[in-house]
Amino acid sequence: MAGLEWIGLPDAVEEWPLNPEQRRAVELTEGPVRIIAGPGSGKTRLLVYRIAYILKRRLASPHSVFTVTFTRKAAGEIRSRVDTLLQASDIDAGDLPISTFHSLAFGIVRAEAEWLGFNPAQLRLCPPAQARRLLRLVMADAGLDGRWDAALIARCIERAKDRLVAPAEYVQVPGDLMEETIARVYGRYQALLKERNLVDYSDLVPAAVQVVTRNEAAHAFYPELCRYLMVDEFQDTSTSQYRLMQALAARHHNVCVIGDPMQSIYRWRGADPDNLLRRFSEDHPDAREVTLTETHRSTQAVLKAAAAVVEVLGLGERRLTTTQGPGEPLRLLRSESEQDEALRIAREVERLVESGQALARECAVLVRTRAQQRLMEQAFLRAGVAYQLVGERPFFRRPEVRTMLGYLQLAMDPFDAGALAAVVNTPPRGLGRATLQKLRGDEFQLTTECLLGAEGRSELAPAVRQAVAQVLELINELADAARRLPLPELFDRVLERSGYRAYLAGQVPDEAAGGDEEAPAGDTPEEESLAELRRMALTYAGEDALSRFLADMELRSDDLAVIEDGAQLATLHAVKGLEFPVVFLAGLAEGVFPHARCLEERGQLAEEYRLFYVGLTRAQRQVYLSYARYRENRGQVQEMAPSRFLKCLPRELLERC
């Protein structure tokens, strides 16, 4: 470990760019440490300098300093900052194990694949879409009909895996129909994955725990290798992730966990804030604790509002201090409808930009659900205000939307080559790239005329000619339907006759089970996108409805409206860890945020408060709080009460505008 006199850091830690709380946390390297880090308190800086301190003091080699976080982006940010510090040394930041929990687990699983019963050379991670199809295949094989919800069973299996419960251990009440059915499906699903040399995403961490705790050689190797372990966003750890952390730290006990119980917002994904609040201290009674209270992100007004949310949850007084000054009051916006609310926010962003108070990219519009995000997207498109989506493709760039518009375009014009290319093999019909190139021949692009000539081409396989004939029959049927049916009915006809609805729902044909039965399923994101597109189509009527609809959709999908410098439209779950000068918290009505399904259960409602806290503390200087008096729900207009979150904020912090 030569060359450690580098780093461009003085030998005295007192001279490092850290406040006293951060410095103490950096120097507490030995034994268990719990760090409570409020929003904007510099925990990433702390992690980076803690790694530097361990290396500079020669406490361990880079290979033995593990850092685990929850997103590839966060891991990349930590690695990038460490790399900047290490650039004057001969240490490669790539030697440091900085990764997500799942990436770390996959490395262990891949290395120990043979012990787990897999072929190491062929082990693959099963993509989520394929995992859904395999589960529905298992359900169809088990003869489960439409009364069984595939999405519910998938969640039950994921929870069982996270709790390290094997299929044979799943049934707690013998004779219980639900438990015994899930156990049977769970067992067969796992067997099918192993037959295909696959592990799904929810297998990774439990399998790594199994390896490290039960494989004698692995139990001796990994905890010895891991001399220092740092876990970021510890409040988001699940049962299996906590167990993996404990297993890796079992030899040296140098484990440092960093988190904030008020930013635990992934309970629905298995996160357990008790790991930070209680379990770590119980399992490590000798743990030292550091609380970071100085933030450089938000103004005093934002922090006072956030502190009021903490007080509601009874987590004690949160004494965060800031260097950002008193700040502006939080601005309250009230609109009549959700559409008015979305458009008003778009116009306010436009006003801030035109007046020079903010750049568009400095404004974030945060909502509770994807449906609200899409409503905001439509308003920004309508207002001509630049935007970008965080964590999701823009609506008109989603494959399912483009495919559906392609089908409708082909129904209007059966000879549209662009539309044909978009849908000819969606869903898959055995017309892959090589086959389509053969069908195209010398033509510049695939056309309907190319398909019409396929019947007499003997060099094409019979299956190809049959698939082409089915596509031509479908085109004719849809063209006829376009002349006769209202647009919403045409929309439904396209989904059914093309087979696209069944494909998106994850239909898995199974000869042993009788072929074409569709397994039950909840709405997928793709199905939700198409439902939104259909809602747009409802306002078009008359003989030219289809042509007007397609023309309007083309205008709305103009790429100029979606640029990198635009306002950020995001769900609250997608922005934890980010910060913005101006934040709009939209949809602050009872049943919207907090969400209706979270109002009855205390734990879920507490998480909604924490989600509101996260939203507030993304703001650096200005917060807008917005709600609509009325919203439409399943065709019915409902009057909405303002969110309870607004009532917990001190009145002197709010300003109507």
User: What parts of the chain have a pLDDT lower than 50?
Assistant: 1-6, 507-522, 559-562
Contact 336, 630 (CB under 8 A): yes
Residue range 249-269, pLDDT digits in tens: 999 999 999 999 999 888 878
In a domain, 156, yes or no: yes
In a domain, 242, yes or no: yes
Q: Are residues 154 and 76 in the same domain?
A: no
In a domain, 416, yes or no: yes
In a domain, 39, yes or no: yes
pLDDT of residue 316: 65
β-pairing, 387-389 vs 580-585, is unpaired
Q: Are residues 135 and 178 in the same domain?
A: yes
Contact 424, 436 (CB under 8 A): yes
Q: Are residues 638 and 650 in the same domain?
A: yes
pTM of the full structure: 0.76
Q: Are residues 92 and 214 in the same domain?
A: yes
Q: Indicate the angle between helix axes 399-412 and 487-498, nearest 10 degrees.
A: 110
pLDDT of residue 524: 66
Domain at 151, CATH number: 1.10.10
Q: Are residues 380 and 471 in the same domain?
A: no
Q: Are residues 417 and 503 in the same domain?
A: yes
pLDDT of residue 560: 40
Residue length of the chain: 657
Boundary-marking domain end, from 518, 535, 554: 554
Query: Which residue has tokens 């503390």?
Result: 617
Q: Are residues 83 and 30 in the same domain?
A: yes
Write b or e for each residue in 40-79: b if 16 or more Cβ atoms lie within 10 A of its Cβ, otherwise e.
bbbbbbbbbbbbbbbbbeeebebebbbbbbbeeebbebbb
Boundary-marking domain end, from 523, 554, 585: 554
Domain count, the chain: 4
In a domain, 6, yes or no: no
Query: Which residue has tokens 């922005």?
Result: 575
Domain at 521, CATH number: 1.10.486.10
pLDDT of residue 167: 96
Amino acid code (one letter) for 65: V
- List C-alpha distances in Å: 157 to 185, 187, 213, 434, 615: 9, 10, 22, 39, 31
pLDDT of residue 2: 40
322 token code pair: 């800031």
In a domain, 522, yes or no: yes
Residue range 269-322, pLDDT digits in tens: 888 888 888 999 999 999 999 999 999 899 999 999 999 999 998 876 667 888
Which residues participate in catalysis according to the annotation? 43-44, 232-233, 263, 618
Contact 608, 318 (CB under 8 A): no
- List C-alpha distances in Å: 582 to 308, 322, 572, 615, 624: 20, 17, 14, 11, 8
Residue range 151-210, pLDDT digits in tens: 899 999 999 999 999 999 999 999 999 999 999 999 999 999 999 999 999 999 999 999
Q: Are residues 406 and 508 in the same domain?
A: yes
Q: State which residues form the domain around 176.
A: 127-195
In a domain, 115, yes or no: no
In a domain, 270, yes or no: yes
pLDDT of residue 12: 81
Q: Are residues 185 and 311 in the same domain?
A: no
Boundary-marking domain end, from 241, 269, 294: 294
Q: Are residues 149 and 58 in the same domain?
A: no
Domain at 218, CATH number: 3.40.50.300
Q: Are residues 402 and 547 in the same domain?
A: yes
β-pairing, 580-585 vs 363-367, is parallel
Q: Are residues 355 and 255 in the same domain?
A: no
β-pairing, 636-639 vs 654-656, is unpaired
Q: Indicate the angle between helix axes 462-484 and 487-498, nearest 10 degrees.
A: 170
Would you give the end-to-end CA distance of the chain in angstroms?
A: 61
Phi, psi torsion values for 280, nearest 5 degrees: -60, -45
